[in-house]
Each structure stands twice: as structure tokens, then as C-alpha cells.
Amino acid sequence: MSRHAIFISLIFAIALVVYAGEPRSLMDQMVVVDRGDFKDFHFRIPEDEGTEPLKIRGSFKTNGGLNDDVTFRAFTQENYVKWFSHYKHEELVMLVKRKEGTFEFVVTPGQTYYVVLDNFFSTVSKKKIQLKIELVSE
């Protein structure tokens, strides 16, 4: 192997080690949720994400309405379907009527996860929510 090829291989290996644990942004945007409504977002975790345990983590901050609050929920795909169909379900995360919050939960490659911004309780005010979500290695 030439010195040039060895040097490039070494740089590539260092880059893998340095950047392997870097968070990957899944979402960073302002979302508007109308009164009495909700917005949902889903994320499929790629199957080729390596062997390290993965987490989805993030934060939200609301703006608008009387109390500037929203209920945040996170689900597996199965439990999202149950929640949507009004069946008994379990949330991975539930933060009720919060102005802001942070969240984190473990995910499995190949699975789909849902995040819900729930404004059902507000009959008057729509909410603006800054939502940031990223995929990180544990």
C-alpha cells in the first residue's frame, strides 16, 4: 500500500472515531398547532446505524395562547396507533401542559417512532412550538 493510501485510510479512521457519536439533527423548526388539534411527526431509525445504543433527544418551547403550553408525547409505532384509535396505550415520554421541556428515549434501529404536539385542551389558542429533535449514540 502506498504512503498516500495509508494516510487517507488513517484520516478516514480518525474521522469515524471523532464523528461517530455526533448527534444527527432530525428536526429543528417552528411548528404551529391549531386550537383543539395536534401535529405528529414520525422518524424511522435506519437499520445500518451500527451497534451502539441510540436515543432520540430534543427540546421544545411554546409561544402563543393564554398559557403558552402544549402536551408533548412520544410513542412507538404500535402505541401511536393505539393512542390515535383511542385504545389503551403507553407513551415513551409524556409532558403535560408544558411551556417548554426536554426529552430523551432509547430507540431501536429499523423501528418507527412518533412525536405528538397535543393542543386538544385549548379551545381558544393556537400554539407556535420551536421543536428540536436529534438522533444520538448513547
Residues 58-83 have pLDDT tens digits of 999 998 767 789 999 999 999 999 99
Which three cell numbers, joined as nine digits, stand for 92?
415513551
What's phi and psi for 78, nearest 5 deg? -60, -45
CA distance 54 to 62: 27
pLDDT at 49: 62
The confidence score (pLDDT) of residue 50 equals: 67
Specify the 3-state DSSP secondary structure of 81: helix
Q: Is residue 9 part of a domain?
A: no
CA-based nearest residue to 31, from 22, 43, 40, 18: 40
Q: Is residue 15 part of a domain?
A: no
Q: Is 8 a member of any domain?
A: no
* Domain with 41 in it: 24-137
- Confidence (pLDDT) at 7: 39
In the numeric block, the cell 389503551 is attached to 88
> Where residue 111 sits, what CATH number does that domain have?
2.60.120.680
Low-confidence ranges of the chain (pLDDT < 50): 3-19
**Residue 99: HSE in the Cβ half-sphere, 13 Å Cα cutoff:** 6
Q: How many domains does the chain have?
A: 1
Residue 65 per-residue DSSP state = S
Best CA proximity match to 118, nearest among 43, 36, 60: 36
SS3 12: helix
In a domain, 12, yes or no: no
pLDDT at position 21 is 59
